[in-house]
Amino acid sequence: MRVVLSDAYGFCGGVRDAVRRAHEAIREARETGLPCYVYGDIVHSKAVMDGLLSEGAERIVSPDGHLPGIVVIRAHGITDGIRSSFTMAGFTVIDATCPVVLRSQRLLRDSGRRTIIIGMRGHSEILTLQGSGRESYLVESPDDLSAIPAGIAYDAVVQTTFSLPVLQMIKEKAMQLGLEIRYLNGICPASSERRKALSSLAGRVEAIVVAGDRASRNTVELWQEGKRLGLPCFLVSSVDGIPDEVLAFSCVGLTAGSSCPDTLVEGIRRRLADGR
């Protein structure tokens, strides 16, 4: 089978940096005899997390009941309250929060208006934004806008990996409702680049494989974008998870979410190229 790799796929700068810092923290903890913890999933990738845990890191969600050590904060950040609970308990905090997410937190905190957060309820980045010390409306779909009073000026911060089509629908509905909203940020450039590169693949292949985890929002967005482009599109999280029907095509496009490691992309590429 011919496999055409997307021009933009896999680890973004924020993820690459977070993974590097987690590995450095594990090494440092080993040398100093301290325990090393990771707060939640450093990035949304089982392959990456399995690697960190097998090297000796432990997952942690609170300092309670744990010996103080080094704790690495995930790429999508944590609330100020959780961060200070670790510092106060004597942990060394390695903050691997992506600069793009830190910027969103700062924009929200510094806004002089009432604020709106646009993103998925319960997503790690949204929990981080909600813990930034600002009371904000949460908008996940155009319907949520009906709870927001008109006649007041708002600032909105968007989840970096949010769905572009849903964001467009929210913006249109907000205009129809006469809501005055200033959008302080947009979808992360890394996510947009991967989406654009996928569109340019579409005319050249029979089907698309998106490598990555279902827990990764931008991976799911790529998968949905592939389907919107009208091609058979498959989300594949492991080399053994390639569905048989993919192997029936003679030319497949391959891309990967921004938390998917190169090793997994390469494993999938080889298996597809072998056609078995």
Name the site residues for ligand SF4 (rule: CB under 6 A).
12-15, 75, 98, 100-101, 160-161, 188, 190-191, 218, 258
Kindly report the backbone phi and psi dihedral angles of residue 212, in degrees, each rounded to the nearest multiple of 5, phi listed first.
150, 180
Residue where the block lists tokens 């654009």: 196
* Chain centroid to CA 101: 10
Q: Work out the number of other CB atoms within 10 angstroms of the CB of residue 134.
A: 17
Please, which residue, 34 or 120, has the CB nearer to ligand SF4? 120
- Residues 129, 135, 136, 140, CA torsion sign: positive
The nearest distance, CB 207 to ligand SF4, in angstroms, is 25
The nearest distance, CB 108 to ligand SF4, in angstroms, is 14
The nearest distance, CB 187 to ligand SF4, in angstroms, is 9
Residue nearest to ligand SF4 (CB): 14
Please, which residue, 69 or 257, has the CB nearer to ligand SF4? 257
Please, which residue, 3 or 15, has the CB nearer to ligand SF4? 15
Please, which residue, 6 or 218, has the CB nearer to ligand SF4? 218
The nearest distance, CB 221 to ligand SF4, in angstroms, is 10
Please, which residue, 6 or 160, has the CB nearer to ligand SF4? 160
Long-range contacts made by residues 24-33, C-beta under 8 angstroms, separation at least 24? 24/94, 25/57, 25/70, 25/72, 25/94, 26/52, 26/55, 26/56, 26/57, 28/70, 29/56, 29/69, 29/70, 30/56
Work out the angle between the directed axes of helices 189-202 and 217-228 (0-180°, nearest 10). Answer: 30
CA distance 117 to 124: 13
The nearest distance, CB 103 to ligand SF4, in angstroms, is 9
The nearest distance, CB 43 to ligand SF4, in angstroms, is 7
Please, which residue, 12 or 118, has the CB nearer to ligand SF4? 12
Q: What is the Cα gyration radius of the chain? A: 20
* Chain centroid to CA 85: 24
Give residue 11's region: left, alpha or beta (phi > 0; psi -120 to 50): beta
The nearest distance, CB 121 to ligand SF4, in angstroms, is 18
The nearest distance, CB 190 to ligand SF4, in angstroms, is 4
Please, which residue, 13 or 232, has the CB nearer to ligand SF4? 13
| Residue 246 DSSP class | G
Bridge partners for 94 per DSSP: 72
Please, which residue, 43 or 233, has the CB nearer to ligand SF4? 43
Tokens of 24: 């450095």
